[in-house]
Structure 1
Amino acid sequence: MDATYEGFLKGGEHIYRELPDSIQVFPGHNRIKISWQLLANPAIVKGKIFWNNGKDSVEVPVSQASGKMKLSAVINSLDEGSYTFEIYTYDKAGNASIPVDTTGNVYGDAYISSLANRLIQNASIVGDKVKILWYKAPEGRVLGTELSFTDQDGDTHLMEVPTDSDTTTFNIHPQGDSLKYRTLYIPDSLAIDTFYTAYQSLKLEPPIPLELNKSGFSEFPLPTDAALYSATTVMPNLWDNDPATFYETKKGSGSPHWFTFDMGVTASLDHYTLWQRGNPTSLFYANSSPRKWEIWGSNDPNPDGSWDDSWTLLGSFESVKPSGQPLNTNTDEDIAQAQAGDAFAFPAPTKPVRYLRIKILQTWDPGGSDHAFISDITLYGTAE
């Protein structure tokens, strides 16, 4: 009948103090924090934590006389690994409680070496801004990513990039190769330390031109723009990716004449492809297909439609027939290129602009350059 208690009665009667309760373990970097609750008792003067098979210990003084209190200790200078801890409470006479065990992990260099830095798709200067495109954050308890750089005045900047953010932009240009980044982790939700990957240098590359999303394109008619030829040759035909449709300006619009549209984003443009009206194919490099034109850009067009300082010339272009044959004579090569679309590059990546104005200077029918038609246009660049 006494078997349950027999082990505690050897050597006579013992007094066992109150047990530690609600133990929590908080892992850290070569350290650990252990906390527990205890119902205050004036007789209890200290707690003690043992580890390493009882060879090492730390003492926690107890001073509260009443109520429920929370005790804790941070154990430093621990090697990385898993530990078992025994916690006791003691009274003034040295009577101890029954030990309460708990386990916890300590993290160090081995854990840090396993951490992966967040990957970057592209980091570049777009106009006057730095733009960084991130891949998805690594698996694990990632807190975020930290950017560090020195600006042109020698001041240091730190920026936090949230885990769910896939784009970072800022308008401070880093000095030299000072831009670097690291990713922040916690190994456990209760961890008392944040762990960092090693800093990785970040070189700003030329931006990778991507096709601009045409779903954001829209008409932006201004008072001096050319009128529409008909209700079926509307401007949205320019970005519907359908070679059978086309946009056409009204006959008598003048030479030169122009039209304006909104890209929906501010972007630095690199190149574009233009498709001529080609139904029938005899209209390739003929009739009112543009032969010479300019593209202008603006971020704040004057609402009166004037050509003031709000517009910047982005490039002058000319359509060239591959065969060089006379008008109304198209070879198979001419037709194949027109069907594939004529590609044009801007002289250099443009300043970031949102609104484009295409100024038709001459069509393939010089006498009919007072109006023009175009099937489609696709723009490539780097959007802010």
Structure 2
Amino acid sequence: MVSQTKILRKGLWMMVALVGILVAACSKMDATYKDFIKDGEIRYSQKPDTLGISPGHNRVKAWLVAKRTDVSKFKIYWNDRGNSVEVPVTDAFETDTLSVIIDNIEEGSYTFEFLTFDREGNTSIVVDTVGYVYGDEYISSMSNRLISQASLIEEEVIISWYTQSNENAIRSEIRYKSQDGTAHQIRVDAGDMETIIDEEPLEGSIEYRTVFLPHPNAIDTFYTDYSPISPVHSARIYNAFGFPETFEDTQYNHTNQTTPANVVIGSGEWRFDKFITARGNAADRKNGNGAIRSSAKAQCIFEMLYDLPNGASKISFYHGTCSSDGVSQFRVEASQNQGATWTDISNGGFTNTANLIHREISIDIEGPVRFRFFKLETPDCTTAACRMNLDDITIYDLPNK
């Protein structure tokens, strides 16, 4: 009996000691915990439920949805937190959609971080999203919608368009003046294939540009420079001879850069002398998928081997340097004696640059005629190559022929 009593007493003292240890430990934990919460319970402002970036021209519209009654201001960081803007929430915001226009941002992709502050100065958890800013690089990629033909027939201008291939191009705009100087503007939707001006405009007054919207939510539209439209008086494209020559037809191909060859292409038989067909290469400057490309530094010729019977009133085409090649020059020449002699119709020639340029040469040649493109030799080329691209050749006959 004595032994059991001693055991019970011993057990009781052990329990008392254990409780003492626990109490002491809890006291220390309470002290530590109080150190953390001595300023009160941590609170957060309302986290933005929905947010986004609407891109623009070197600017964006940043927006978020949050209850105005719960938010005193919001802040947005971008450029790896190198830049920020802080916006107070005032009665100027009539809805719970809070927004700000951020200007003077360089073109590129950015991560934008959003956080809000409540009336007591507590901040929300950071929420981020990615947005893009458009600028000069995007503008340099834009080009006017292509015109298939513009004709002046009986005091009416008929403009035929190629299909709009750029999905960002939402419309084009034509402006012109009547004979009395009255200004007009015409909207051309992306799906329109023909535009009619039901009067004869003042000569040289017709211009057009194309309007781009790079993103469905963009806050800015972008415009190309105005380009002239020079309607041909009742002239017609030589459609029967396969013009315009777009070099898109994959049924023909010429890739030999050194050996001249006579090749039947969409617009007839041409002589490829150090010119080759070029398709599917992003380095070539072209409309669509196909063009032709000259060799590096040598003299190169692309020549018609047949005559157009009804003379010619105009020839148009696109040209530019290939890839990052150096500049080069070329002439456009015509022959009225089946290629025995050639006459420069390009007033000394043109220079290829890094932009795809549209050229129109108005001429008045009666009777059978053929043409060639003569790329000049460039022995002093400043880069490894001075190649050129040529695309979308269109030839018009004389009016009333």
TM value normalised by structure 2: 0.47
Higher relative contact order structure (alpha carbons within 8 Å, sequence separation ≥ 6)? 1
